[in-house]
Structure 1
Amino acid sequence: MKTHLNTLFITTEGTYLAKDGEAVTVRVEKETKLRVPLHNLDGIMCFGRISMSPQLMGACAEANISISFLSPEGRFRAAVVGFSPGNVFLRRQQYRLSDASDACGAISQAIVVGKLANCRAVLLRAARDSTDPNRSERLQAVAGRLAANIIDVRATNDVDRLRGLEGEAAVSYFSAFNDLVNAAPDEFIYTKRSRRPPRDALNALLSLIYALLTHDARSACEASGLDAAVGFLHRDRPGRPGMALDLMEEFRPFLADRLALSLINRRQVTEKGFDYLETGAVKMDDATRKTVLVAYQERKQEVITHPFLGEKTSVGLLIHLQARLMARHLRGDLDGYPPFIWK
């Protein structure tokens, strides 16, 4: 359990929340672990098997404190809110700013800077850890190109230009992927990014982890009152979760790509776990999928210091915190959206 940005996150299975005067008490096995005044909260997020008293739900509804219930993996299930919780005003502002070129450009710029900075950090860390000087030199060269891309991104807030720069940087970043694979490079060779369907084992692995990250991002939007369909960097498209895709961009290299590479380099995932179909598609078998799901949830339990808040939190809560920061920026409480930049 942890409090961030006036939001109480409950992650311990079996926790019971109750109203105690003008405060919420958090009990685990009938022992009070935490007591937080209601006036200090604007949201409670419950992950997994969490229960609470009807009196607390009523008090939160009257105080405009939203309660969100999510699966242990972070998938949104339901929310309890009172009348006029304020989300409608947040969403209307989100719609206004998505149509305002300057505001849309400023937010998109922050998102792209965060993504490219994290891509560069992945390459530089791999270059430092590599025992092959030639590989290290190649990784540093690509990191240098990304640094130049970041300078170009900071110089414009034109959304179309930002999309183009992000695409150019992605090509450079993925060109270094083969140098990031230390184990069994003959099994996981990167040629190009392929989706629907993935055409090789590496793309199949990335696609699954990106899908998990997308679910987490959509849950974060729902729990924070954002409209997951209306983004800034990603254009509106029927069925496309633009806001969720915006939020997850910063986490693709830090969480998804690093996890995929870790699974490969530690030989937790091998090419034997993938079936090559006659259509050219590649399908992951059940055992490998389970390995990836377990590894993803374990990675989300790791503790990290949030670079903007300066507080320790779990990796799994990072995207929820970013959604809350986005909401605060849209409401005008923050001058700009602070992207997550891995340090």
Structure 2
Amino acid sequence: MSSGTKYIMSMGDIKRKDNSILFKNDKGNSYLPIESVKEIYCMNEVNVNSKFLDLAAKAGIIIHFFNYYGYYSGTFYPKENLVSGNLTIKQAEAFLSKRNILAKAFVQGIADNIYEVLYHYYRHDKLEVKDTLDWIKNTVPIYLKNENLNIKQILRIEGETWQRFYSDFKYFLPEDFVFNKRVKRPPDNPMNALISFGNSILYSKTVAQIYNTHLNQTISFLHEPSEGRFSLSLDLSEVFKPAIVYKTIFELVNTKKLKVTKHFDRKYNYCLLNTAGKTIFVQAIEEKFDEVFEHKRLKRKISYKTAIKLDGYKLIKFIIEGKEFKPFNLKEMV
């Protein structure tokens, strides 16, 4: 796990102790040097006070809060110092005049990365996924070339792409982790629980990466801008879901590091990762964020986490300079 990222899995209090972070619970006290922390993920009920938040703000620490069910609740981050009124105006103008262009680019990016994930299994004799591969390769680009598509039609193409992806899980996952449909609130089986938890972490990580750009978090293109959420993070994170969330899930499930009987709690109509399961998943997905690969076009090594921020910069180049926006593609990896 990245040395700058800390996860708090249990209930307790976070306080300032001199120039250190103190986490206190019924097991005792834990101290973290302030200079070693960049992000904190509070995965349980955690109490904070203004004295600690003032310290966090001055140190540039971003804090993400999740509720008992593993859903993202919100993010505290320091006062934005990378603010550009000019970019915000141009970002809004792009939403009004070029939204469909960007929405199509995001959907094509999602489809391309799903293709690469499925192709891995096709090469390992899971030939049943070929129908989905062919549909993504041949049909999706034709649909998206239609200049008359509205945003609802673009979203329907995205939805069908995900649904075809889900329908292929039965060909390469254990039976316990196969599911019939995506159910979010609450997740009703182990796979839906993993997807919801992973997507929440990816979304919060994307919020933190966009914070380091001049982009306005609330002006999005594929998702509807709305009150109460950073919808641009939803846009950027979608493209990375196949590469980060799903590859992490498939590896943990197929290597049996996560087991239905050991790492999930079922209550009434919902299913959630227990603390042991969350710990295993968090370790794996943080390793994925920090995984370094050689970028073909940039000709240098970058991490997945950096790739998220680079997509933000690519979006800025589209907005300011009109340069074609092509989101992250797994084919960019050497």
With the length of structure 2 as denominator, give the TM-score of the two structures: 0.74
Select 1:126's aligned residue among 121, 124, 129. Answer: 121
Which stretch shifts more, 116-125 or 213-222? Answer: 213-222
1:99 aligns with 2:96: yes
Percent of matched pairs sharing the same residue: 21
Deviation, 1:307, is 4.6
- Residues 125-171 of structure 1, C-alpha deviation per residue, up to 9 Å, x if partnerless? 111123xxxxx221122111111333224413532321121112121
Q: Flag structure 2 segments of 5+ consecutive residues without an equivalent.
A: 5-34, 39-57, 65-74
Would the alpha carbon gap of residues 261 and 138 (structure 1) be closer, same or farther in structure 2, given more than 3 Å must change?
same
1:201 and 1:94 map into 2 onto residues whose CA distance is: 39
SS of the aligned residue for 1:167 comes to helix
Greater C-alpha Rg? 1
SS of the aligned residue for 2:212 comes to helix
Q: How many residues align?
A: 269
2:84 and 2:109 map into 1 onto residues whose CA distance is: 26
The residue type paired with residue 91 of structure 1 is T
SS of the aligned residue for 1:309 comes to coil
2:238 and 2:88 map into 1 onto residues whose CA distance is: 21
The residue type paired with residue 342 of structure 1 is L
1:236–1:242 CA contact under 8 A, matched in 2: yes
1:338 aligns with 2:331: no
Deviation, 1:68, is 9.4
Deviation, 1:276, is 1.2
1:275–1:283 CA contact under 8 A, matched in 2: yes
1:306–1:318 CA contact under 8 A, matched in 2: no
- Residues 278-309 of structure 1, C-alpha deviation per residue, up to 9 Å, x if partnerless? 2x111211011011111111111211133543
Would the alpha carbon gap of residues 335 and 68 (structure 1) be closer, same or farther in structure 2, given more than 3 Å must change?
farther
Runs of 4+ in 1 over 6 A off after TM superposition: none
Select 1:174's aligned residue among 166, 177, 189. Answer: 166
Which stretch shifts more, 143-152 or 211-220? Answer: 143-152
- Residues 205-233 of structure 1, C-alpha deviation per residue, up to 9 Å, x if partnerless? 11100000000111222221212222101
SS of the aligned residue for 2:229 comes to coil
Select 2:304's aligned residue among 315, 327, 337. Answer: 315
Q: Flag structure 1 segments of 5+ consecutive residues without an equivalent.
A: 1-10, 14-46, 51-66, 131-135
Match of 2:196 in 1: 207
Match of 2:227 in 1: 238
What is the 5 A alignment of 1:109-124?
109-124=104-119
Deviation, 1:186, is 2.6
Deviation, 1:255, is 0.8
1:76–1:219 CA contact under 8 A, matched in 2: no
1:165 aligns with 2:153: no
1:107–1:337 CA contact under 8 A, matched in 2: yes
Match of 1:151 in 2: 141
The residue type paired with residue 123 of structure 1 is L
The residue type paired with residue 128 of structure 1 is R
The residue type paired with residue 306 of structure 1 is H
2:139 and 2:226 map into 1 onto residues whose CA distance is: 27
1:190–1:202 CA contact under 8 A, matched in 2: yes
Select 2:264's aligned residue among 265, 274, 295. Answer: 274
Select 2:295's aligned residue among 306, 311, 315. Answer: 306
Deviation, 1:249, is 1.3
SS of the aligned residue for 2:309 comes to helix
The residue type paired with residue 156 of structure 1 is N
1:114–1:341 CA contact under 8 A, matched in 2: yes
SS of the aligned residue for 1:93 comes to helix
Select 1:69's aligned residue among 60, 69, 84. Answer: 60
SS of the aligned residue for 1:142 comes to helix
SS of the aligned residue for 1:305 comes to strand
2:63–2:77 CA contact under 8 A, matched in 1: no
The residue type paired with residue 130 of structure 2 is Q
2:144–2:154 CA contact under 8 A, matched in 1: no
Match of 1:188 in 2: 177
Would the alpha carbon gap of residues 224 and 340 (structure 1) be closer, same or farther in structure 2, given more than 3 Å must change?
same
1:315 and 1:142 map into 2 onto residues whose CA distance is: 26
1:142 aligns with 2:129: no
The residue type paired with residue 92 of structure 2 is Y
Would the alpha carbon gap of residues 72 and 124 (structure 1) be closer, same or farther in structure 2, given more than 3 Å must change?
farther
1:80 and 1:234 map into 2 onto residues whose CA distance is: 23
1:70 and 1:177 map into 2 onto residues whose CA distance is: 38
